[in-house]
Structure 1
Amino acid sequence: MQRKTKMEDTRERVMHIAMFPWLAMGHLLPFLRLSKLLAQKGHKIFFISTPRNINRLPKLPSNLSASITFISFPLPPISGLPSTSESSMDVPYNKQQSLKAAFDLLQQPLTEFLKCSSPDWIIYDYASHWLPPIAAELGISKAFFSLFNAATLCFMGPPSSLIEDFRTTPDDFTVVPPWVPFQSNIMFRYHEVTRYVEKTDEDVTGVSDSVRFGYTIRESDAVFVRSCPEFEPEWFNLLRDLYRKPVFPTGFLPPVIEDDDDTTWVCIKEWLDKQRVNSVVYVSLGTEASLRKEELVELALGLEKSQVPFFWVLKNEPSRPEPQIPDGFEERVQGRGMVHVGWVPQVKILSHESVGGFLTHCGWNSVVEGLGFGRVPIFLPVLNEQGLNTRLLQGKGLGFEVPRNEREGSFDSDSVANSVRLVMMDDEGESIRGKAKLMKSLFGNRDENIHHVGQLVDWIQNTSPK
């Protein structure tokens, strides 16, 4: 009987992997998608979060329910944070640091769980800067899973610059950093970072996001990136130089369309079915971004002026019980435009054949979902890394950014209307539409994305010390 080689034996061993995402749906869902792919390869997953967040996740398919175990830790109470607030979508943007302070208090229950379960690896998010030393002490291998693309990570810089937190004013973020050795347009506009800097001035945890990123990257054994070198080769090469450690693409982790036909989708689909193919622009600015009242008015009037069919999603905001859109707006656009307040099945909407464009805040999750179906993006970045994503995509001819005042970020209804018409209808936008449709084969190609995860799994199996 032929004996197995050491490598063959390692590859067949079932690994136990803990997943610990940040408390935001745009982070929880990609972590769950990666968890499913790891489970499909035969590994056991502990998916760790809080009760409400776990309940918000889609149900596991029956073939994976035995391989993925949800571990629920109640979010510790903290002054000023409502007891029902367990996700970034539950709190205003200026209260995000309070949510991080509560998140940091999960350190004790997580440590106790890791001691008892002793997984081979823990894959964590940017916010848990305190986790790597704990994992190292317990002999657990550790990886930082970035839900930001390689270009954004390169702009942020090497761990040392993040930990030193040397960029302190908005103007510091509006130039290409010195460690980028090639020509680049990846930088913020002034208005895109002012809210970020204002937020960190009120940092109740004493630890800025920059420092969190710095430690989670520096203390990791490897970094996994939700992107691929086929899309941004120069940025992956630079990232490996900056980090001096293994950097692996996970691919884009395109979402799978869930089969359940909830009542919300039934109503939306009925409206979309009445529209022409590729005629509708889907408008959604994510779960965290909030436009000012005057910006909402200009966006509404711009959609009205465009004469393009649209489906506009507005999020529920306790501070704004009534949507701040112009009086009579819905009546004037009736039949051509639809406004929905609250949650929608975004992936199903983007997959519908009547949707051709996507007016988006350009969060990476939404970018992946939109380009995965070949939808043409219209960019209206608001905060976080959204401006960097916008520069990256527009630099590749993928989409069009609504013109704005660079200092204040203001825009008017004409700039919205003209942008929507250009992308959806005008001859000038033909090349943009063509390039976006080509991206479907890259962003939405599940086989290619699974290939990246397969290479990642081979590496972690062969480097795991257990």
Structure 2
Amino acid sequence: MGISGLHAVIVPFPAQRTINPLINLAQLLSSRGVVITFVNMDWSHKCMSKAAHNDDEPTFKFLNIPDGLPPDHGRLANLAESVIAMENLGPVLEHHLLSSSSDGKTPPVTCIITENFMSCTHQVAKKLGVPRVIFWTLCATSSIAQCNANLLLSHGHIPVKVEDSKRAEKVITCLPGNLPPLLPSDLFSFYRATDTSGVLFQWALRESQFQSKADYVLVNTFDELEPPETVSALSCNGCPALAVGPVFLPNFLEGRDLNGRGSLLEQDESCLKWLDAQDPASVIYVSFGSIAVKSNEQLEELAIGLEKSQHPFLWVLRMDIAGGMPATLPEGFEERTKDRGLIVKWAPQVKVLSHPSVGGFISHCGWNSCLESMSMGIPILGWPYSADQFLDCRFCKDVWKIGIDLEGVDVDENLVIKREEIERGVRRLMEGKEAQELRKRGMELKGAAFKAVGQGGSSFTNLNRFIHDMTQLSKSASVKRAYPQSIPSIC
């Protein structure tokens, strides 16, 4: 048993966007004396092992289990089948946890920390008799909207009609947490389906029912960005709900870039040397995350827009970004831009965003990317693709004042953004008074994030409170087994 007396099992949804924050949370808990078992699917563990660098090794163990899908299954490319597999994972997870604890070396499980879309852990936690802690990998506002999906359904906000986003009478004000009014286009993109019987639509609704049944809630945000009254709205049953993010930042500041260890793609660190040769705050970094796809028509417009902007750029161009196929770039583009542009297949994003040469970020606005950009003081040009990214993008622009966006991408997923608007967006992000204001706000948020995770900061203190509460609950549970009526639940 660790110093704290706790053994936490951490269960992510097997995707880049959820593995990264949870592996960082695991390291933070491990460094505080919590024994950690990190559950991976066999296939994701193989990808992570292949991509990992030796200096990224965490201080906890992994438990690898099968997901029930064929080896050649596309996983995230066939998301509907993957989410059903995850819903049915409970018995397999329970079996492997019980098997691993029977070796006499692994201490008993005292809590399960689960990503918010892993309802299979609900019954597992019940059978093991331990608290189930939901860790929201979204911002608190998106989390509240998702957790209350059935409330939104009853008010007629779901299914989403994105064309209503321009109508003032369609703003959403029924959610708890003292949120700014939300637009229909801010809600999870799964709810835009016209066929409400679709797999992803129904899956997201089912998950929301279990998301309100946690014994404890942690959120990858910080109080200075989203206040405690917002975060506490994620406690639907009276249990504690605390902001503990950005969870990557303490590890990064201590020299541990665990995003590399949690990566499913191999990072190309040669781009850091290229950045060394660029002027301060001159480079626009372009990355759309691990899942988003773009048509070759759109990639051509983006390439020409970057070229016409005249700014140096570092562009992450995944092998499968063009609908599972390599991108086709305009003839002569790479030759014309070779002196001020670099294209890589995958990059060490936090190291890139922290580099002094980077001055702006064209992003899909996944929550990890938003937090990383804010924490490094880098303004964002938002180009959302799916899920919660539409809300993140709008809040970066309208609420947190660290970004701008492209016209129409929030309501038309098939819209092709023309090169002229891309060029204009890059120049707005990198040049003139507006860019200066964005950079100033970025530095303010960077300071707030650093303060939150530093000793005595809000997230630092909240994480310590969580460990204390789990320790007390674990002790209470031990006594309760002997004296069943003596100890109340923490919630």
| TM-score, structure 2 as length reference | 0.80
Change (3 A) 1:339 1:265: closer
CA distance in 2, matches of 1:191, 1:45: 33
Is 2:473 aligned against 1:463?
A: yes
Query: Is the contact between residue 124 and residue 145 of structure 1 (CA under 8 Å) also seen in structure 2?
Result: yes
Match for residue 3 of structure 1? Answer: none
How many residues align? The count is 442
The one of 182, 199, 202 equivalent to 1:203 is 199
Task: Report if aligned partners of 1:14, 1:43 keep a CA contact under 8 Å in 2.
Answer: yes
Alignment of 1:35 onto 2:26: yes
Given candidates 117, 141, 148, the residue that maps to 1:127 is: 117
Q: Percent identity?
A: 24
Task: Summarize the Cα distance change of 1:75–1:141 in structure 2 as closer, same or farther, 3 Å threshold.
Answer: same
Greater Cα offset, 265-274 or 403-412: 403-412
Match among 175, 178, 185 for residue 174 of structure 2: 178
User: Any idea what SS the aligned residue of 1:122 has?
Assistant: strand
Counterpart-to-counterpart distance in 1, 2:173 and 2:188: 17
- On the 8 A contact 1:15/1:120 being kept in 2, the answer is yes
Task: Give the C-alpha shift of residue 254 in structure 1.
Answer: 2.5
Cα distance per residue 1:232-286 (max 9 Å; x no partner): 11762661575533211112113425579x9964531232122101100100010
Most deviating of 400-409 and 291-300: 400-409
CA deviations on 1:183-240 (whole Å, 9 max, x unpaired) are: 7253353898379527975418x9512321321x222111111112221117626615
Secondary structure in 2 matching 1:295:
helix
Q: 1:243 to 1:386 in 2, by over 3 A?
A: farther
Mapped partners of 2:266, 2:39: distance in 1: 29
CA 185–398 in structure 1, closer or farther in 2 if over 3 Å, else same? farther
For residues 423 and 436 of structure 1, the distance between their equivalents in structure 2, rounded to whole angstroms, comes to 12
SS, match of residue 432 in structure 1: helix
The aligned runs of 1:123-272 (5 Å cut-off) are 123-158=113-148, 161=151, 167-171=157-161, 174=165, 175-180=171-176, 184-189=180-185, 193=189, 197=193, 202-203=198-199, 207-215=202-210, 217-233=211-227, 236=230, 239-240=233-234, 242=236, 244-255=238-249, 256=252, 258=256, 265-272=268-275
Residue 291 of structure 2 corresponds to residue 288 of structure 1: yes
> Match of 1:227, SS?
coil
Matches of 1:11 and 1:266, distance apart in 2: 35
**1:434 is matched with which residue: 440, 462, 474?**
440
Match in the other structure for 1:72? 64
**Which of 314, 318, 327 pairs up with 2:317?**
314
Structure 2 partner of 1:99: 82
Q: Secondary structure at the match of 1:248?
A: strand
Given candidates 269, 279, 282, the residue that maps to 2:282 is 279
Give matches, 1:323-362, under 5 Å: 323-340=327-344, 342-362=345-365
**1:18·1:121 contact (CA, 8 Å) conserved in 2?**
yes
In structure 1, how many angstroms separate the alpha carbons of the residues matched to 2:396 and 2:350? 20
Contact kept, 8 Å, 1:362 with 1:381, in 2: the verdict is yes
Equivalents in 1 of 2:368, 2:119: separation in Å? 22
Contact between 2:2 and 2:33, CA under 8 Å: does it hold in 1? no
Q: Deviations over 1:40-91 (max 9, x none)?
A: 11111111111232241646879963xx22101122125xxx53645x3xx2
The one-letter code of the counterpart of 1:184 is P
Change (3 A) 1:163 1:208: farther
Who is 1:5 aligned against?
none
Q: Which residue of 2 aligns with 1:303?
A: 306
5+ residue gaps, structure 2: 102-107, 166-170, 479-491
Contact 1:11/1:458, CA 8 A, preserved across alignment: no
CA distance in 2, matches of 1:181, 1:218: 14
In 1, the alpha carbon distance for the partners of 2:238 and 2:149 equals: 10
Q: In 2, distance between residues paired with 1:15 and 1:241?
A: 23
CA distance in 2, matches of 1:390, 1:119: 38
Supply the distance in 1 between the matched residues of 2:56 and 2:275 (Cα, whole angstroms).
31
Aligned-residue offset at 1:324: 3.0
User: Unpaired segments of 5 or more residues in structure 1?
Assistant: 1-9
1:254 to 1:304, Cα distance in 2 relative to 1, 3 A: same
2 CA distance for matches of 1:99 and 1:17?
25
What is the identity, as a one-letter code, of the residue corresponding to 2:462? H
Distance change (3 Å), C-alpha of 1:338 and 1:123: same
Distance 1:59 1:120, change over 3 A: farther
Residue identity matched to 2:69: P
Determine the C-alpha separation between the residues in 1 that align with 2:190 and 2:121: 29
2:328 and 2:188 map into 1 onto residues whose CA distance is 22
Distance 1:462 1:163 in 2: 38
Q: Which amino acid aligns with 1:459?
A: D
Alpha-carbon distance change, 108 to 233 in structure 1, aligned in 2, over 3 angstroms: same
Matched, 1:44 2:38: no
* Cα distance change, pair 314–76 in 1 and its aligned pair in 2 (3 A): same
For residues 165-200 of structure 1, what are the alpha-carbon distances to aligned partners after superposition, in whole Å with 9 as ceiling and x for unaligned?
Answer: 965432178432423585725335389837952797
Secondary structure at the aligned position of 2:44 is classed as helix
SS in 1 for 2:37: strand
Bigger mean CA deviation after superposition, 164-173 or 121-130: 164-173
Please, what TM-score do these two structures have when normalized by structure 1?
0.85
Amino acid at match of 1:179: L
Kindly indicate whether the alpha-carbon contact (under 8 Å) linking 1:195 and 1:383 is maintained by their aligned counterparts in 2.
Answer: no
Write the deviation string for residues 122-144 of structure 1: whole angstroms up to 9, x where unpaired.
Answer: 01122322321331132111111
Q: Deviation of residue 152 (structure 1)? A: 1.0
Aligned CA RMSD, in angstroms, stands at 3.2
Does structure 2 retain, via aligned residues, the 8 Å contact 1:190–1:408?
A: no
Give 1:332 shift: 2.1
Partner of 1:381: 384
CA shift, 1:385, in A, is: 0.2
CA distance in 2, matches of 1:163, 1:221: 25
Following the alignment from structure 2 to structure 1, what is the Cα–Cα distance between the partners of residues 205 and 304? 37
Check whether the contact 1:185–1:391 (CA below 8 A) recurs between aligned residues.
no
